[in-house]
Amino acid sequence: MKNIMFIAPPAAGKGTQAELVVKKYKVPHISTGDILREISKEDSELGQYVFETLASGKLVKDEITYQLIEERLARDDCKNGYIIDGFPRNIEQAIEYDKILKKLGYDIGNVILINIDEKTLEKRITGRRICENCKAIYNINDPASAPKEEAICDSCGGKLYQRNDDNLESFQTRYQMYKEKTEPIIDHYRQMNVITEVDGNDSIENVFKKIDAIISE
Ligand SMILES: [Zn+2]
């Protein structure tokens, strides 16, 4: 299988789609967050540095992130394809990622851009409700996943609540950040001719069908 990178705005269902690909194709899901958390448990100078940096809420130095990603991708389980997640986050990192791939003799593979209207994302985020008892997730803006009664869980009768950051302001901040940092990455991959766009304004199953078609080509 070719390597896969997803690019998508917040709440576009990127994580869910990545899980579906992992399940079907049994490829490793490489996430920078996981790599850093793993290293932070190690009893070494590097482990200590990463642990302290994460604990203080700061960002790990780029050079260290690059080195760790390269080491992770060099492992055997990545040689037949992987999904990379949470990286690159800006154009500098994208350029660095190209260099890492070259060093390892890998191809960039499929860069899949999930396109979704801003309004659809807004509705998804502001409509999301979670059962405080059984954690079931509903969406009051989507008839297909709305609870029968607005604040009560269909399956257990528990109370539904809204997560603190599931509000319009928080979404708009995250969305603006995405546009600003990610558009240059999209242009970069467009020039390399490796991007495939997928319409994400559809059910999880249908979006996955489109992604699956690209992967299995
Ligand atoms: Zn419930």
Q: Where are the domains of the chain?
A: 4-27+80-215
| pLDDT of the residue at 11 | 86
Q: 161 CA to middle of ligand 1, Å?
A: 11
Q: How far is the C-alpha of 185 from the C-alpha of 202, rounded, in Å?
A: 24
Q: 102 CA to middle of ligand 1, Å?
A: 49
Catalytic-residue membership of 128: yes
Q: Residue 134 has which token pair?
A: 């059984």
Q: For residues 164-173, give the mean pLDDT.
A: 90
Residue 63, Cα to own-chain centre: how many angstroms? 22
C-alpha R_g of the chain: 19
Q: 163 CA to middle of ligand 1, Å?
A: 15
Catalytic-residue membership of 174: yes
Q: 12 CA to middle of ligand 1, Å?
A: 24
**Sequence letter at residue 11:** A
Q: 167 CA to middle of ligand 1, Å?
A: 22
Catalytic-residue membership of 89: yes
Q: 137 CA to middle of ligand 1, Å?
A: 8
| pLDDT of the residue at 150 | 85
Q: For residues 27-39, give the mean pLDDT.
A: 93
Residue 30 has pLDDT above 90, yes or no: yes
Catalytic annotation, pick one of 14, 72, 124, 210? 14
Catalytic annotation, pick one of 163, 179, 190, 209? 163
Classify domain 4-27+80-215 at the CATH topology level: Rossmann fold (3.40.50)
Catalytic annotation, pick one of 2, 123, 174, 181? 174
| pLDDT of the residue at 179 | 93
Residue 109 has pLDDT above 90, yes or no: yes
Longest dimension (CA), the chain: 56
| pLDDT of the residue at 36 | 93
| pLDDT of the residue at 203 | 86
| Residues above pLDDT 90, as percent of the chain | 84
